Homo-oligomer: A and B are copies of this chain.
Amino acid sequence: MSTNASNKKRRVTQADVARRAGVSTAVVSATLNPNSATGVRVSQDTAKRVRAVMRELGYTPNPIAQSLARGKRNILGVFTYESVFPSERGNFFYPMLRGIEMQVSGAGYDLLLFTSAQTAEAPRQIFAGGSNRLGVADGAILLGQEPDSSELERLADEGFPFVTVGRRHSGRVELNWAAAGYAEATSEIVSHGHELGHRRIAYVGGATIREQQQDREAGFRSAMHRLGLDQGPDCCWHIDPETLDAACLESILSRRVTLILAETLKHAERLEDLLRDKGMYVPQDMSIAVLGTPLEDTKSILRWTRFEAPREEMGREAVRLLLAQLDGRLNGPAQTTLPCKFIPGDTLRPVTDGH
């Protein structure tokens, strides 16, 4: 019985096969890749003989060497700043990963998950130790929020092909992404509210503003403008759920708002708590819609009127864009916005006369 433990016997190499078959390594290589338009030609007989020797010796080409020689790896990187398979976060990345796998599978690429550039203390980085681990791959897909957007710029500067899932903006370089249409989805919810008779609508979002939050707010503002519901600049609140207090709610209520768009479920729940303290209930006394889906899997989201990002489709599209880039089918920046799915829920109701 042989064991597969560290077998130090040298791997069978192309040269071994060549020697045994009485041909040059070029012939072996050409036998292996028959359809590559190289100058080397192999007769049927020779090819058959070479293949026999390969089997006999158990030869298997070294993919690393192939990659180096070809300058192509057939590997797509997937990089996340957090754990790829989080536990607390539920399976937030899962649909995206599934989309990525679906699209990549059959395209002849493998998926490389970058887990190494991480120690117990230091967070994950692309440029760990000055070197870009992503380089093993032909290109990469970036998932999740990066703590430091300058890494993206550096990556782009290097000419490394990559696509982010979720919109990213840089003033300096043009980035590629497959994103959810948060602006459109938010706009749609405003229209929906309008149809239900809501005229005074507030937007309550977090204090830190990234691209995704920008999109939501932009969608809100443009819809309000379009519907002639402009209420001046102060119909948006930027405050984290933890610091959202009664005073803040007062300032919202003082504007006689009937519908609140809450950026996150946490905002919505916090608002509901504060409203309850005042004897007001959702949705009888106040409609609330949530602008998205929480990162963590939770049942409590189910009753809320909201929309959902097409996570699986975003993964697929990111792969499409990346492959197009690698094939040279694309020269300009590639940016796709995919529609979110509206979910009616139970927290957005028509305005009652009593309002």
Q: Which A residues fall within an 8 A CB radius of B?
A: 1-7, 9, 11, 32, 51, 54-55, 58, 60-65, 67-68, 73-75, 83-87, 91, 94, 97-98, 101-102, 104-116, 118-120, 127, 130-133, 135-136, 155-162, 172-176, 325-326, 328, 330-334
Question: Which of B86, B94, B332 meets A85, CB within 8 Å?
Answer: B94
Contact A326 B6 (CB under 8 A): yes
Copies of this chain present? 2
Q: Which B residues touch A65, using CB under 8 A?
A: 68
Contact A113 B111 (CB under 8 A): yes
Contact A61 B131 (CB under 8 A): yes
Contact A133 B63 (CB under 8 A): yes
Main secondary structure of the interface of A (DSSP, over half): loop
User: Known contacts being A63-B136, A64-B73, is A116 close to B112, with CB within 8 Å?
Assistant: no
Q: Name, among A55, A60, A91, A326, the residue most crowded by chain B CB atoms within 10 Å (CB to CB).
A: A60
**A175 to chain B: closest residue by CB:** B4
Q: Which B residues touch A74, using CB under 8 A?
A: 116
Question: Which of B60, B86, B111, B136 meets A64, CB within 8 Å?
Answer: B136
Alpha-carbon distance A6/B120, docked complex (angstroms): 35
**A74 to chain B: closest residue by CB:** B116
Contact A115 B111 (CB under 8 A): yes
Q: Which B residues touch A109, using CB under 8 A?
A: 115-116
Contact B3 A331 (CB under 8 A): yes
Contacts A/B (CB < 8 Å), 14 sampled: A2-B174, A3-B173, A3-B331, A4-B174, A6-B328, A55-B130, A61-B135, A63-B131, A64-B68, A68-B68, A75-B112, A83-B98, A107-B116, A110-B136
Alpha-carbon distance A158/B101, docked complex (angstroms): 28
Alpha-carbon distance A155/B158, docked complex (angstroms): 38
How far does the Cβ of A340 sit from chain B's closest Cβ, in whole Å?
20
Q: Which B residues touch A85, using CB under 8 A?
A: 94, 97-98, 101
How far does the Cβ of A110 sit from chain B's closest Cβ, in whole Å?
5
**A328 to chain B: closest residue by CB:** B6
How far does the Cβ of A208 sit from chain B's closest Cβ, in whole Å?
26
Q: Which B residues touch A9, using CB under 8 A?
A: 159
Contact B330 A60 (CB under 8 A): no
Question: Which of B2, B83, B157, B325 meets A156, CB within 8 Å?
Answer: B2
Contact B68 A161 (CB under 8 A): no
Contact A3 B174 (CB under 8 A): yes
Contact B2 A173 (CB under 8 A): yes
Q: Which B residues touch A91, using CB under 8 A?
A: 91, 94
User: Known contacts being A68-B64, A68-B65, A158-B60, is A5 close to B113, with CB within 8 Å?
Assistant: no
How far does the Cβ of A101 sit from chain B's closest Cβ, in whole Å?
5
Q: Which B residues touch A98, using CB under 8 A?
A: 83, 85-87
Question: Which of B6, B32, B127, B328 meets A331, CB within 8 Å?
Answer: B6
